[in-house]
Amino acid sequence: MKKFKTIYFIYDADGGMWNGIKYWYQKNILEEGSACELCDISHSKYFVRLEWLQFINELKKEYKVKVLHRNEIPKNIQEKNYLFPCVIGETDNELIQIIDKIAFIDWGKSTNVKDLKEYFSQAIA
């Protein structure tokens, strides 16, 4: 098992207040644009899910955890050209994709933090 020092959860959306409002409006009012599967898991229509916050807090007991938007990612992750959303683990000398975009898509319209938590646990074991 790899020893990760940092876990990155990366949304397929841009961060910032204006970008958040624009994303929500396009998704929920206009029903257009691409939706981020990780957003659907971590947020309800209006608020962040309590289960998501609990999951992240559990992980923070063992790892440094960063939840980022695609416009906030560090250069070393940008250079890898990952498809978002994804979950990346960083060891002392490498980046490892723990959950890729395909896995998120395969879940369909899951909004279940429990499924993500189980998949994550299996992927890092």
pLDDT in tens, the chain (125 residues): 568 999 999 999 888 888 777 777 777 777 776 678 898 888 887 888 999 999 999 999 999 999 999 999 999 999 999 999 999 999 998 999 999 988 887 776 666 888 889 889 888 88
Q: What is the pLDDT of residue 45?
A: 79
Is residue 98 within 8 A of residue 87, CB to CB? The reply is yes
Q: What is the pLDDT of residue 8?
A: 97
> What is the C-alpha to C-alpha distance for residues 62 and 36, in angstroms, rounded to an integer?
26
Q: Determine if the pTM surpasses 0.85.
A: yes
Partners of 64 in beta bridges: 6
Is residue 65 within 8 A of residue 6, CB to CB? The reply is yes
Q: What is the pLDDT of residue 54?
A: 96
Q: What is the pLDDT of residue 90?
A: 95
φ, ψ of residue 10 in degrees (nearest 5): -120, 120
Q: What is the pLDDT of residue 102?
A: 85
In one letter, which amino acid is 59?
A: L
